[in-house]
Structure 1
Amino acid sequence: MVSAALLGIDIHQCHGRGLYKWLLASFLIGKRIRASVAIQAYRLLVDTHGLDTPGKLARCPHHTLVKLLGQAGYARYDESTARRLHRLGSGLEAEMDEVLLNAAVDMAHANTWLLGFDGVGPKTLEIFMREAAVVLQHQRVQ
């Protein structure tokens, strides 16, 4: 099972960076693709090319995302995954602070909001919440 720690992600990292990185990783891992390919894609996107914030992901050229996904082993889904990643980055940049980083996170609303992203389904949400729920619940107490 892939975890945030396995990927070197500190989900407690300030300003939601850790949550964003884990959501991006969950997005990739939750697809019908080998975990090793998803991990390689995450490492290329974040570790190698610095797409470590939603805004950077949203502003990354489509052709660059397609190229990186192809390098990771996404042979048939690189175009559609790149489009979904752009939309994910844009949506997170616009609303992540309000929905996930608010001190009074409404978990039901957060789940519904996340499921509203193209490419985020129940499996991706399950993977993400497996570790993120602890962080989000902790924010509610503070």
Structure 2
Amino acid sequence: MAHDINASDLGIDVASGEERALFKWFLASFLFGKRIQQEIAADAYRAIVEKHGRDTPRKLGSCSWQQIVDMLGEGHYVRYDESTADRLLKLCDKLEKEYDGKVSRIRERSADRREVQKRLEAFEGIGPKTAEIFLREVGKVWFR
């Protein structure tokens, strides 16, 4: 059985705690959280981040809805492309407005892991599964 794709499989060093790495894993977790094959989610991530360089909330959030749909399509992430594009724009907007564009602020503004999970789930399109995927890696850094 194939293992769950993790941050290091995508070349993301979450242990660095670096903001760009945190956002990349946040984005990847969001894509993995949908009912879609992991490899397709990984390909969509690579199209957005590696091919198009949309590796910050500002860079991704400045895309049009159609540009995001097209990038998702390049990764064959087509089943949920329209709703996902919409939610990714909202995710970037919320990160910018409520957390100064920094995923690390979610941790800074939370008392504990449970509050981090609650804040993550306040993003449209993020439920317990996506929060669990994100925290599976970032939790090791944030909650030592």
> Among 22, 33, 41, which residue is 2:25 paired with?
22
Q: Which sections of structure 2, spanning at least 5 residues, go unmatched?
A: none
> In the alignment, which residue of structure 1 is the partner of 2:142?
136
What is the TM-score with the length of structure 2 in the denominator?
0.86
**Distance apart, 1:16 and its partner CA:** 1.7
- Distance in structure 1 (CA, Å) of the matches to 2:138 and 2:88: 19
CA distance in 2, matches of 1:75, 1:24: 17
Q: Larger deviation: 103-112 or 5-14? A: 103-112
List, as ranges, runs of 4+ consecutive aligned residues in structure 1 with deviation greater than 6 Å: none
What percent identity do the matched residue pairs reach?
45
Instruction: Check whether the contact 2:61–2:93 (CA below 8 A) recurs between aligned residues.
Output: yes
User: How far apart are the structure 2 equivalents of 1:67 and 1:77?
Assistant: 12
CA RMSD of superposed structures (Å)? 1.8
Q: 2:5 aligns with which of 2, 21, 38?
A: 2
Number of residues of Structure 1 aligned to a counterpart in Structure 2: 137
Query: Kindly tell me: are residues 98 and 75 of structure 1, through their superposed partners in 2, closer, same or farther at Cα, counting changes over 3 Å?
Result: closer
Whole-angstrom distance in 2 between the partners of 1:97 and 1:123: 20
Query: 1:60-112: CA deviations, max 9, x gaps?
Result: 11110011111211223111100000111111223135322x29753222111
What TM-score do the two structures reach when normalised by structure 1?
0.87
Cα offset, 1:50, TM superposition: 0.8
Give the Cα separation in 1 of the matches to 2:16 and 2:63.
22
Structure-1 separation of matches of 2:52 and 2:124: 23
Distance 1:104 1:78 in 2: 31
| TM-aligned CA distance change 1:6 to 1:31, over 3 Å | same
Distance 1:72 1:33, change over 3 A: same
